[in-house]
């Protein structure tokens, strides 16, 4: 496992302007890596087209979706070093560099997509963007994958007691591991590409993920019960090597920022469309969809508080007061 020290080293090395592939003195080629969801792949095509159009062909973005250049940790290190120009990355991977990113892993912190978007443009979101720049990362946009939901093939899950003892795939995040332990599951960090084989072979019983990823990877073929727990709203920042961005002339910077805005807007729109169609698709494949009630959701939230999950998030953050502020909606 690559260490936090290695990430810090990569962040401090920022000298890698070599990652820009200059075809001519005034032209630029940037490599961009993102994840394997339909919305992100399609939005990536928009990103490429708008960048070329707005720069009059001077800026070429080479798009590598579906983890073609490696998993999240590899592409983050490569972006910090400058070997890749940009990547769309999980907040849990950025958190070791920018501790306030841990806010995104706190359960039930956002009630809607609009709440998350509001946070991103608030003073707290701007603080996080500034912290990223201190680590040689320029925040270009914030894509989102939607709310995370719980799936398994044993029983309909409504409350924490229902997940007791289930072998579960989770993100490699201290908060996610502690959270699911608190709710009674037996969490195991696992790469996303290993989830379906793990479910088929019985290595794990369950997993949690946003609908868009489950649809793209056909989780409905290996899981029967889909519980709309909506416990975390997942965002994935689009970040760029800051030294490369700063070295670009104004026209290229403006073209890139416009392309990033188009990418964000397109990805969010497509994601919402996919998310709204998810239940019908699950049912069409014979899955049982469970909508938890407000009272049932409160059980998850109360147990997270009782088991110290919010305290853990605060402990990991540079500005822990953000947690209570966001929970109260005061931002």
Rounded Cα gap, residues 208 and 170, in angstroms: 7
The predicted model gives 183-187 an average pLDDT of 98
CATH class belonging to 149-232+277-327: alpha beta
Question: What is residue 103's predicted lDDT score, i.e. its pLDDT?
Answer: 96
Question: What is residue 1's predicted lDDT score, i.e. its pLDDT?
Answer: 47
> How many Cβ atoms sit within 10 Å of the Cβ of residue 188?
16
Q: Which two tokens stand for residue 246?
A: 């700063």
Regarding the domain delimited by 4-99+110-143+235-273, which CATH topology (the fold level of the hierarchy) does it fall under?
A: D-Maltodextrin-Binding Protein; domain 2 (3.40.190)
DSSP for 152-198, please give it.
Answer: ESSS---SGGGGTT-EEEE-S-HHHHHHHHHTT-EEEE--GGGHHHH
pLDDT above 70 covers what percent of the chain? 92
pLDDT in tens, 275-314: 999 999 999 999 999 999 999 999 999 999 999 999 999 9
The predicted model gives 78-84 an average pLDDT of 95
Question: What is residue 36's predicted lDDT score, i.e. its pLDDT?
Answer: 65
pLDDT in tens, 139-162: 999 999 999 999 999 999 999 999
Q: Which two tokens stand for residue 45?
A: 């095509």
Residue with tokens 């890139």: 256
In the chain the first and final C-alpha atoms are separated, in Å, by 36
Residue with tokens 């290993």: 194
Question: In this model, does residue 174 exceed pLDDT 60?
Answer: yes
pLDDT band, very low/low/confident/very high, at 172 (cuts 50, 70, 90): confident
**155 three-state secondary structure:** coil
Instruction: Assess contact for 283 and 289: CB atoms under 8 A.
Output: yes
Among 131, 137, 132, 169, residue whose Cα is nearest residue 150: 169
Question: What is residue 241's predicted lDDT score, i.e. its pLDDT?
Answer: 97
Q: Where in the chain is the domain with CATH 3.40.190.170?
A: 4-99+110-143+235-273, 149-232+277-327
> How many Cβ atoms sit within 10 Å of the Cβ of residue 21?
13
């Amino acid at each position: 496992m690559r260490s936090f020290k290695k990430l810090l080293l990569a962040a401090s090395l920022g000298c890698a302007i070599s990652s820009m592939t200059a075809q001519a003195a005034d032209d630029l080629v940037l490599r961009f890596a993102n994840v394997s969801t339909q919305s992100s792949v399609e939005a990536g095509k928009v990103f490429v087209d708008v960048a070329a159009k707005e720069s009059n062909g001077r800026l070429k973005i080479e798009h590598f979706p579906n983890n073609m250049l490696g998993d999240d940790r590899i592409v983050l290190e490569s972006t910090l070093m400058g070997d890749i120009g940009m990547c769309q990355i999980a907040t849990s991977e950025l958190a070791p560099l920018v501790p306030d990113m841990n806010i995104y892993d706190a359960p039930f912190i956002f009630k809607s997509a609009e709440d998350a978007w509001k946070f991103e443009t608030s003073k707290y979101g701007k603080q996080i963007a500034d912290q990223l720049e201190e680590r040689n990362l320029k925040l270009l946009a914030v894509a989102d994958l939607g709310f995370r939901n719980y799936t398994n093939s044993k029983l309909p899950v409504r409350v924490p007691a229902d997940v007791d003892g289930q072998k579960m795939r989770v993100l490699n995040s201290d908060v996610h591991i502690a959270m699911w332990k608190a709710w009674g599951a037996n969490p195991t960090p696992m790469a996303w590409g290993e989830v379906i084989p793990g479910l088929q072979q019985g290595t794990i019983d369950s997993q949690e993920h946003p609908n868009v990823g489950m649809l793209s990877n056909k989780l409905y073929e290996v899981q029967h019960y889909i519980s709309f727990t909506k416990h975390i709203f997942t965002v994935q920042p689009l970040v760029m090597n800051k030294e490369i961005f700063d070295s670009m002339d104004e026209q290229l910077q403006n073209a890139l920022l416009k392309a990033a805005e188009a990418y964000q807007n397109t990805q969010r729109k497509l994601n919402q469309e996919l998310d709204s169609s998810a239940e019908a698709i699950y049912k069409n494949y014979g899955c049982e969809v469970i909508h938890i009630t407000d009272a049932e959701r409160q059980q998850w939230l109360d147990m997270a508080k009782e088991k110290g999950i919010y305290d853990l998030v605060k402990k990991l953050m540079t500005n822990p007061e953000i947690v209570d502020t966001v929970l109260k909606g005061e931002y």
